[in-house]
C-alpha cells in the first residue's frame, strides 16, 4: 500500500467511536503443561513427535488441477508470530505454543521482496512479481519495468500476461477475493495492466490520459468468460459520481465518465448476481454456475474487529473462501483463486497492532477453512505475504504475558523501565504515528495498551508506518509443494506455480 495516511485517517475515525474503545484482554492461559510448565521430557517428546511427522511426509508429485494463493498483505514474520500468540491467548490457550493453520502447512521458503527499483517494495510491484513472473517498478501493475509510473505513453506493448489470463486460456475458472478494494494493488494485478496503481477509477487519471482505469479493465476484461467470482470492497470506483451509495446516504460513486460499471457488468453477465451486503451473500447458492460480483463497501471492507458493527453486514473472509471453493470447484478444468487479507497492511500503516493481528487471525481462519475443503492431491495451496512491515516484538516478556502488554516485568508484576524511567510494550514499530514530534514519550504503564484503538509507540515519527524490506515466509501444501524451499525470488513463485499447474 502507498497510502498510509489514508489508513491512518481511517483508524483515527474508528478511534472516535466509543463502542470500539475497548477490546477484551486475553483469558488466563491454562496452567501446568502450558505457559512454561513443561518438563524436559515434555519437550523431548514434542521434538520426537515433530520428527516422526516429517519422516512420514509423502511428497505429492502430480500436476495440480487447482491453485489457491493466499496473500497476507504486509504479513511479515513478526506479524505471523504475534498473530499466533494472540490467537492462542484470545482462545484462552498458551499463545507461544499455539499452532496455526499456516504453521501446520508442510513446506516453507523464504521470499525476497525487493522490486525492480526499490529495496523496500510496494504492493503493486510485489503482486506483479507473484502473478507475472517478472519484477517491475514500484507503483505499476503487470507491466514490464520498461514502463514508467504515471506515463501512459510508455505503456504501449509493455503488458505482461498474468497467471490468471493464462489459466483462463486453459479453461480454468477464476476467483478473486480481497478485504481491500478489489481495484487495489494486489487483486488488481491479476486482471489489470496499469502504469499507476492509483488509477482505480477514471477520475484518478491525469487529464488527456489514454490509459484505461482499473475498474473499467475488470468489467471489460477481454479474456473469454472473465472472472467467475469477485468479492471485496471498492464499489465507488464502479459507480458514477452522481449515484448515491446503497449503504451510505452521504457517499457517492467516484467515476467522472458517467459510466455505471455495475450495470455494465450485469448486462455482460445476464445470469450473474451482483451483491453488496451480508443478507444477499447468505442467499447465494454455491451450486449456481452463474458469475458473482460482491462489492461490500465503497472503499475497503471493514477491519475484522469492526465487521460486526457494519450497518449492512459483511461476510467473513472464511465465509467468502468457503463460497469460492464450492462455486469454483465445479469447474471440470479446475480453477485459480487469489485470496488477499488486505487489511493487515492497513492496520500496520496506522500503527494499530490490535487490528492487524485480529485480521491475521481471520486470514488464518480462511486458510483453515480452505484446507478442510480441498483435496490436496489436486489442489496446490500457497500462503505468503507480499512484503513485511517495520513491526517488532521486543523486550523480555515472560511466557503467557499478554502480547499487547508491557514488555518486561518483575516477579511482582511491576514494569521494568527503560532509561527514561518509563515502561515499554512488547509490540512496537520502527516508524509510524506512534511517535510524536516535539513531545516526550508517554508511559505505557499509564495507558490501556490492550485497547483496540491503542497505537503502539514508534521510534521515528511518520504520518503512516512503512513497509519492511526483509524476506517473507511462503508456505505450501499440495502437488509438488516441495518445490517451494530455500530462499527464492518473489517472481519465481509464478514460475513454479505455472509449472505445477501445467500451463
Q: Which residues are annotated as a binding site for Zn(2+)?
A: 73, 345, 349, 386-387, 467
By the 10 Å C-beta count (0-12 exposed, 13-18 middle, 19+ buried), 477 is classed as buried
d(CA 464, CA 478): 38
Among 78, 108, 115, 123, the one annotated catalytic: 123
What gap in Å lies between CA 267 and CA 470, rounded to an integer?
45
Measuring CA to CA, which residue among 354, 288, 490 is closest to residue 20? 354
Give burial (CB, 10 Å; 0-12/13-18/19+) of 88: buried
Residue 232's contacts (CB-CB under 8 Å, 6 or more residues apart) are 176, 177, 178, 179, 180, 181, 182, 187, 294, 295, 296, 301, 340, 342
Are the CB atoms for 96 and 460 separated by under 8 Å? no
Q: Which of 249, 182, 259 is nearest to 218 (CA)?
A: 182
Element spanning 343, H or E: helix 343-349
CA 299/CA 9 separation, integer angstroms:
13
Buried/exposed code over 46-66 (b: 16+ C-beta within 10 A; e: otherwise): eeeeeeeeeeeeeebeeebbb
Q: Give just the sign of the alpha carbon dihedral 220, 223, 226, 227.
A: negative
DSSP 425: B
Q: Write the CA distances from 230 to 165, 173, 252, integer angstroms.
A: 15, 12, 21
Q: How far is CA 368 from CA 60, 103, 314, 485, in A?
A: 20, 11, 20, 22
Residue with cell 477464476: 174
Give the SS3 label for residue 101: helix
Which parts of 176-316 fold into alpha helices (H)?
Answer: 185-188, 214-219, 261-268, 278-282
**What would the grid cell of residue 328 be?**
469454483
SS3 (DSSP) at 308: helix
The C-alpha cell of 193 is what? Answer: 495492466
Residue 123 annotated in active site = yes
Q: 304-330: buried (b, 16+ CB within 10 Å) or exposed (e) per residue? A: bbbbeeeeebbbbbbbbbbbbbebbbe
Look at residue 280 and give its three-state secondary structure.
helix
CA distance 362 to 342: 11
Annotated catalytic residues are 123
Amino acid at each position: 500500500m502507498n497510502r498510509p495516511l489514508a489508513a491512518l485517517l481511517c483508524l483515527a475515525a474508528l478511534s472516535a467511536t466509543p463502542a470500539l474503545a475497548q477490546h477484551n484482554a486475553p483469558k488466563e492461559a491454562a496452567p501446568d503443561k502450558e505457559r512454561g510448565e513443561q518438563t524436559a521430557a515434555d519437550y523431548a517428546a514434542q521434538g520426537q513427535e515433530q520428527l516422526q511427522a516429517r519422516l512420514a511426509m509423502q511428497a505429492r508429485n502430480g500436476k495440480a488441477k487447482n491453485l489457491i494463493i493466499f496473500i497476507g498483505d504486509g504479513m511479515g514474520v513478526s506479524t505471523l508470530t504475534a498473530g499466533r500468540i494472540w490467537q492462542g491467548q484470545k482462545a484462552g490457550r498458551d499463545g507461544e505454543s499455539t499452532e496455526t493453520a499456516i504453521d501446520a502447512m508442510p513446506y516453507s521458503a523464504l521470499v525476497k521482496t525487493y522490486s525492480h527499483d526499490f529495496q523496500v517494495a510496494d504492493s503493486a510491484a510485489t503482486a506483479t512479481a507473484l502473478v507475472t513472473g517478472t519484477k517491475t517498478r514500484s507503483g505499476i501493475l503487470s507491466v514490464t519495468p520498461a514502463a514508467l509510473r504515471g506515463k501512459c505513453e510508455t505503456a504501449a506493448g509493455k503488458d505482461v500476461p498474468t497467471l490468471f489470463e493464462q489459466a483462463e486460456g486453459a479453461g480454468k475458472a477464476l476467483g478473486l477475493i480481497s478485504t481491500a478494494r478489489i481495484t487495489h494493488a494486489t487483486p488488481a494485478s491479476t486482471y489489470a495492466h496499469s502504469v499507476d496503481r492509483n488509477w482505480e477509477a477514471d477520475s484518478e487519471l491525469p487529464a488527456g490520459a489514454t490509459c484505461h482505469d482499473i475498474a473499467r479493465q475488470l468489467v471489460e476484461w477481454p479474456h473469454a468468460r472473465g472472472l467467475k467470482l469477485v468479492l471485496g470492497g471498492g464499489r465507488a470506483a464502479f459507480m458514477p459520481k452522481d449515484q448515491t451509495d446503497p449503504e451510505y446516504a452521504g457517499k457517492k460513486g467516484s467515476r467522472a465518465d458517467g459510466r455505471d460499471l455495475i450495470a455494465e457488468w450485469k448486462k455482460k453477465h445476464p445470469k450473474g448476481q451482483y451483491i453488496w451486503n451480508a443478507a444477499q451473500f447468505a442467499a447465494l447458492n454455491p451450486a449456481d454456475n452463474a458469475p458473482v460480483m460482491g462489492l461490500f463497501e465503497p472503499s475497503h471492507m471493514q477491519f475484522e474487529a469492526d465487521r460486526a458493527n457494519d450497518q449492512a453486514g459483511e461476510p467473513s473472509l472464511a465465509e467468502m473462501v468457503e463460497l469460492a471453493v464450492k462455486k469454483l470447484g465445479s469447474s471440470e478444468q479446475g480453477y485459480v483463486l487469489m485470496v488477499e487479507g488486505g487489511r493487515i497492511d492497513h492496520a500496520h500503516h496506522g500503527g494499530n497492532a490490535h487490528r492487524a493481528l485480529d485480521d491475521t487471525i481471520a486470514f488464518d481462519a480462511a486458510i483453515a477453512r480452505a484446507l478442510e475443503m480441498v483435496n490436496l492431491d489436486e489442489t496446490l495451496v500457497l500462503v505468503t505475504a507480499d512484503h513485511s512491515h517495520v513491526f517488532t516484538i521486543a523486550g523480555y516478556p515472560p511466557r503467557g504475558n499478554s502480547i499487547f502488554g508491557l514488555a518486561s516485568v518483575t516477579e511482582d508484576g511491576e514494569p521494568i523501565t527503560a532509561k527514561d524511567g518509563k515502561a515499554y510494550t512488547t509490540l512496537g514499530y520502527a516508524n509510524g504515528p506512534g511517535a510524536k514530534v516535539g513531545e516526550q514519550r508517554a508511559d505505557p504503564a499509564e495507558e490501556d495498551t490492550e485497547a483496540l484503538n491503542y497505537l503502539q509507540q514508534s521510534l521515528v515519527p511518520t504520518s503512516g508506518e512503512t513497509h519492511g524490506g526483509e524476506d517473507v515466509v511462503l508456505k505450501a501444501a499440495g502437488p509438488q509443494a516441495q518445490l517451494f524451499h530455500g530462499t527464492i525470488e518473489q517472481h519465481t513463485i509464478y514460475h513454479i506455480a505455472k509449472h505445477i499447474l501445467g500451463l
